[in-house]
């Protein structure tokens, strides 16, 4: 889920929200979910036979059939009319027929910030045997980031379309949504024409490249978290032009399921997934596909979403997925506008100006102020009824400024060789420097707060020429002792699905702001506005949970190169060794905390959760047996004998429970957990409850308070009992939450700490959950 600095009107988001094709399409793509067992239509040939039985007279199976799924989904996808859909829904073999939804896509310094430096110890042989599946918009295979000296894993079978596999890119396939009626911007190919997939893949596993940078910003050595690992590309996102003329990205759910299907069959080591949407488990077929991947030993790292600082917006919230929020780095980008005669410049954090600081002060030209001017006016730019007016006979070499709504004027201004542009806009969303604006001309964006200073300067200097200087953006280190915070754009929990109300999401936070990484040299740096930006570079700066996700993917792969642990054990290690954070959303913003590679290889204890544990958990919560069987593709599941328990526990690295409204109600919650010792020898851990700030509970009891282990793999069970009163302590949301509270198991000599947040909350539910 990404934010490219060239995209502003689209909220600079590449995180994909659910959307649907135009309503007047005759045929639409549907996912046909089959029941498990009791019929003869379970194979690919059976799917096609069933489809043939319901097709209209003028339809053929060859035209309607799209995919049959083996690993990720129980059923098939097809292009259907409404009457064909209705006939399928009446078949006893069919559980559900639903639209294939459209999901939208959601570092030289960032790995060092996470303490995974170039000097970190590495297991090069094991690392080069790991394969990451990047399900995204394709890849630019010609980048120097995607080379390797080590061969692919011995058991791996290279499968590359349109390009030749090499020692780095060991798989490359595309999934073309050919049944939909769009005007295609690109041909069927794995080549990336948006930059998103290339950026993501290079963050995970790009090889080391010296002297990387972005027009002098963030200069250094670019490399991924696991530079020796291999990449398998599964392209599911495409650029199209819709019927209304809008250029858009299409990432169809049926294609994504097929990509996961292939990734499971290919036996990748981890899936990196920077797409998604907010959804219930009932409707989220991709989430269930990831559970099937976990059954095959594959962990999925997924973006939390870019819905912004709103609660109940987190995406990819299934407990078997590692859900990643976006954090700020220890450096930020700052741009200044200097006004002649003023002591202090105007400073903004939502602009990237890659052009050198202007060599002198230049006159300001403004359409609004032009009525005051007495000299000859000359039209220098015009677009959609708007114009920029100059009071100078010779206009070349001035700083122009105008409203963002008139942004098309910038094309004309560039052609007229204006010196710079000051773009005025409404409310800014850059509370955490999360959204950046840049143009192919020296420029700065002033929101409604900052532009007031400019108008004050204008009024104060009516009798003389107003002059300004736009400075080049600088990268500024944060003050010593700065604690990581979450980006304003990053989606917040809790889960909008009542089945997942007692699972803390997101799980973890990772750098997602101002991330420099690989970029296709055939793609413009700012492809949306203005139209005449022809700059190309092999690196670009992007922001979003799309960029945070591959950081978590990379650290998980790094750990896997040393430890052949289960997906849940790897996820647990990343969570319990994370660094504490601060944010007004507390744990619903950042989960366990910020990724920290320092101790991830030696977490001491891990919380193991196996495939069957998730099935049992869903049964206890009252999930429908028939649906659950279809979701996971097994007729052996039977929830009818399981006692319903809406307070059921999952052996999760965090401890979360929603207590009912109204507020000011006493509560008592007991958590049951089991930890596994992952070290040889005898160890004793002491349990301690810590909290920062105000105490939001009456009492927390850990029983037993001490755990003794004598061998590798030994498990110990304990309980955590939390009591209190749900008094309103979260003014912004009129809610209750135990904030900044956690259980820490500390090894007796202090060398290892296992930290688990404890969150009890009471808050109004979401208005809707897709």
> Packing angle between helix 285-295 and helix 611-620, nearest 10 degrees?
140
Q: Which among 75, 47, 41 is positioned nearest to 61, based on CA atoms? A: 47
pLDDT at 432 over 90: no
What mean pLDDT do residues 244-270 have? Answer: 92
Q: What is the pLDDT of residue 717?
A: 98
Round to whole Å and give the CA distance between 352 and 439: 8
| 106 touches 18 (CB < 8 A) | no
Residue with tokens 């904030």: 739
C-alpha–C-alpha distance, residues 768 and 307, integer Å: 14
pLDDT higher for 285 or 2? 285
Q: Is the omega angle on the peptide bond into residue 290 within 30 degrees of 0, that is, cis? A: no
* Mode of pairing for the β-strands spanning 3-4 and 539-543: antiparallel
Phi-psi region of 92 (alpha: psi -120 to 50; beta: other; left: phi over 0): alpha
Q: Are 663 and 70 in contact (CB under 8 A)?
A: no
Least confident of 102-116, 481-495, 613-627, 674-688: 102-116
Of 373 and 503, the structure prediction assigns the larger pLDDT to 503
pLDDT, tens only, 1-47: 654 433 332 222 223 222 333 333 478 899 999 999 889 999 999 99
Provide the annotated active-site residues.
136, 196, 546
What pLDDT is stored for residue 374 in this prediction?
Answer: 27
Peptide bond into 506 cis (omega under 30): yes
pLDDT over 70 at 411, yes or no:
no
Residue 456, strand partner residues: none
| 442 vs 567 pLDDT, higher one | 567
Structure tokens at 187: 């041909």
Cβ atoms < 10 Å from Cβ of 672: 13
Q: How far apart are CA 423 and CA 418, in angstroms?
A: 14
Question: What is the number of alpha carbons within 13 Å of residue 385 lying toward its C-beta?
Answer: 1
Cα 607 to Cα 571, 653, 714: the distances in Å are 9, 6, 12
Positive/negative CA dihedral, 191, 192, 197, 200: positive
What is d(CA 248, CA 242) in angstroms, rounded to the nearest whole number?
A: 7
Highest mean pLDDT among 62-76, 359-373, 400-414, 756-770: 62-76
- Give the per-residue pLDDT at 350: 82
Tell me the H-state helices in 314-417: 409-415
* Secondary structure of 380-393 in HEC code, one letter for each residue: EEEECCEEEEECCC
Higher pLDDT, 622 or 444: 622
pLDDT, tens only, 365-409: 654 443 333 222 232 333 233 333 333 334 445 555 555 555 556
The CA-atom distances, in angstroms, between 16 and each of 1, 253, 273, 316, 358 are 7, 11, 11, 12, 38
Residues 6+ apart with CB under 8 A from 385: none
**pTM of the entire structure?**
0.88
Q: Which residues pair with 228 in a beta bridge?
A: none
Lowest mean pLDDT among 180-189, 348-357, 363-372, 501-510: 363-372
Tokens for 717? 């069970």
pLDDT in tens, 629-682: 999 999 999 999 899 998 899 999 999 999 998 999 999 999 999 999 999 999
Tell whether omega for the bond before 494 is within 30 degrees of 0, i.e. cis.
yes
Name the pairing type of β-strands 683-691 and 706-709.
antiparallel
Cβ pair 297, 75 in contact under 8 A: no
Question: Using H for helix, E for strand and C for coil, what is the string for 73-131?
Answer: CCEEEEEECHHHHHHHHCCCCEEEEEECCECCCCCCCHHHHCCCCCCCCCCHHHHCCCE
Yes or no: say if 568 and 610 are a contact pair by the CB < 8 Å rule: yes
Tell me the two tokens of residue 433: 């420097």
Starting at the earlier edge strand, list the strands of the sheet with 94-99.
65-68, 75-80, 28-34, 94-99
Average pLDDT, the chain: 84
Higher pLDDT, residue 488 or 704: 704
More confident residue, 43 or 450: 43
Contact 67, 31 (CB under 8 A): no
**Tokens describing residue 347:** 């400073």
List the one residue out of 737, 705, 757, 748 whose CA is nearest residue 508: 757
Q: What is the pLDDT of residue 400?
A: 57
Separation of alpha carbons 611 and 290, rounded Å: 11
Q: Do the beta carbons of residue 653 and residue 607 sit within 8 Å? A: yes
Is the sign of the CA dihedral 253, 257, 262, 268 positive or negative? positive
Instruction: List, in sequence order, every beta strand (DSSP E) within 274-424.
Output: 299-303, 321-327, 331-339, 346-348, 362-366, 378-383, 386-390, 399-403, 420-424
Q: E-strand spans in 413-547?
A: 420-424, 443-446, 467-470, 474-477, 508-511, 515-518, 539-543
The Cα 293–Cα 133 span in angstroms is 12
For tokens 């004027």, the residue is 409
Residue 567 is given by DSSP the state H
Quick one: 387 exposed, middle or buried, by C-beta within 10 A (0-12, 13-18, 19+)?
A: middle
Angstrom distance (rounded) from CA 498 to CA 765: 9
Q: What is the mean pLDDT of residues 541-562?
A: 95
Name the least confident of 300-314, 393-407, 705-719: 393-407
Residue 232's DSSP bridge partners are 133, 171
Average pLDDT over residues 557-561: 97
Residue 184 has pLDDT above 90, yes or no: no
Q: Are 272 and 132 in contact (CB under 8 A)?
A: yes
pLDDT at 531 (0 to 100): 57
> For residue range 125-175, what is the model confidence (pLDDT) as tens digits?
888 999 999 999 999 999 999 998 899 999 899 999 989 999 999 999 999
Please give the torsion angle defined by the CA atoms of residues 282, 287, 293 and 297, in that order, rounded to the nearest 10 degrees. -100
Instruction: Find all residues with CB under 8 Å of 440, minimum gap 6, and list them.
Output: 414, 526, 530, 532, 533, 534, 535
Q: Are 689 and 638 in contact (CB under 8 A)?
A: no
């Amino acid at each position: 889920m990404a934010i490219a600095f060239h995209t502003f009107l689209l909220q600079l988001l590449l995180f994909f929200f659910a959307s649907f094709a135009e309503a007047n399409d005759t045929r639409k793509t549907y996912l046909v979910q089959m029941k498990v067992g009791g019929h003869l239509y379970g194979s690919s040939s059976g799917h096609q036979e069933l489809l043939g039985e319901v097709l209209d007279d003028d339809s053929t199976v060859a035209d309607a059939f799209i995919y049959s799924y083996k690993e990720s989904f129980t059923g098939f996808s097809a292009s259907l009319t409404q009457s064909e859909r209705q006939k399928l829904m009446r078949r006893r073999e069919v559980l559900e027929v639903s639209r294939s939804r459209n999901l939208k896509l959601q570092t030289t310094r960032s790995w060092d910030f996470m303490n995974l430096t170039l000097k970190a110890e590495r297991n090069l042989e094991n690392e080069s045997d790991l394969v990451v599946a990047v399900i995204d918009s394709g890849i630019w295979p010609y980048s120097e980031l995607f080379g390797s000296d080590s061969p692919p894993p011995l058991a791996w079978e290279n499968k590359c379309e349109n390009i030749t596999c090499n020692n780095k890119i060991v798989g490359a396939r595309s999934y073309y949504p050919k049944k939909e009626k769009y005007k295609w911007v690109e041909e069927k190919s794995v080549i990336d024409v948006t930059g998103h997939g290339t950026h993501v893949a290079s963050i995970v596993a790009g090889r080391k490249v010296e002297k990387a940078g972005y027009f002098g910003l963030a200069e250094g050595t670019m490399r991924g978290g696991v530079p020796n690992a291999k990449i398998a590309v599964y392209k599911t996102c495409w650029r199209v032009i819709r019927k209304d003329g809008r250029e858009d990205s299409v990432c169809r759910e049926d294609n994504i399921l097929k990509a996961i299907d292939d990734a499971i069959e290919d036996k990748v080591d981890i899936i990196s997934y920077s797409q998604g949407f907010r959804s219930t488990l009932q409707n989220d077929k991709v989430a269930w596909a990831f559970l099937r991947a976990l059954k095959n030993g594959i962990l999925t790292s997924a973006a939390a979403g870019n819905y912004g600082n709103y609660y109940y917006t987190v995406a990819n919230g299934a407990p078997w997925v590692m859900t990643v929020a976006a954090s700020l780095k220890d450096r930020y980008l700052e741009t200044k506008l200097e006004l002649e005669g003023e002591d202090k410049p105007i400073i903004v954090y939502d602009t990237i100006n890659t052009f050198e600081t202007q060599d002198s002060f230049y006159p300001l030209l403004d359409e609004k102020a032009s009525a005051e001017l007495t000299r000859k006016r000359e039209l220098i730019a015009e677009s959609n009824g708007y114009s920029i007016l100059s009071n100078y006979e010779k206009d070349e070499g001035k700083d122009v400024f105008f409203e963002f709504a008139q942004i098309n004027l910038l094309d004309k201004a560039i052609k007229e060789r204006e010196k710079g542009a000051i773009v005025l806009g409404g409310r800014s969303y850059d509370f955490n420097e999360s959204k950046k604006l840049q143009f192919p001309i020296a420029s700065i964006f002033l929101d409604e707060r900052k532009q007031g200073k400019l108008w004050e300067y204008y009024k104060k200097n009516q009798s003389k020429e107003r002059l300004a200087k736009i400075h080049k953006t600088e990268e500024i280190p944060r003050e010593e002792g700065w604690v990581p915070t979450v980006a304003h754009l990053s989606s917040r929990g809790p889960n909008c699905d009542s089945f997942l109300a007692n699972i803390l999401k997101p799980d973890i936070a990772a750098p997602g702001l101002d991330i420099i990484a690989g970029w296709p040299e055939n793609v413009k740096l700012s492809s949306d506005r203005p139209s005449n930006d022809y700059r190309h570079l092999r690196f670009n700066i992007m922001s979003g949970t799309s960029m945070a996700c591959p950081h978590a993917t990379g650290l998980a792969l790094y750990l896997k190169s040393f430890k052949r642990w289960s997906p849940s054990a790897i996820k647990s290690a990343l969570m319990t060794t994370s660094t504490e954070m601060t944010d007004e959303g507390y744990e619903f913003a950042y989960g366990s905390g910020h990724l920290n590679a320092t101790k991830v290889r030696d977490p001491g204890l891990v919380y193991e959760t196996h495939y069957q544990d998730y099935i049992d958990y869903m049964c206890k919560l009252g999930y429908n047996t028939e649906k659950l069987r279809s979701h996971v593709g097994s007729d052996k599941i039977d929830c009818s004998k399981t006692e319903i328990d809406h307070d059921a526990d999952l052996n999760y690295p965090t401890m979360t429970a929603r207590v009912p409204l109204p507020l000011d109600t006493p509560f008592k919650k007991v958590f049951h957990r089991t930890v596994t010792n992952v070290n040889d020898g005898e160890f004793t851990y002491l349990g301690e409850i810590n909290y920062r700030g105000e105490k939001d509970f009456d009492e927390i009891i850990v029983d037993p308070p001490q755990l003794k282990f004598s061998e590798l793999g030994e498990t110990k069970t304990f309980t955590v009992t939390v009591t209190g009163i749900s008094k309103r302590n979260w003014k912004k949301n009129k809610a209750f939450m135990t904030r900044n509270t956690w259980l820490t198991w500390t090894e007796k000599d202090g060398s290892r700490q296992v930290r688990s947040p404890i969150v009890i909350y009471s808050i109004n539910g979401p208005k809707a959950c897709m």
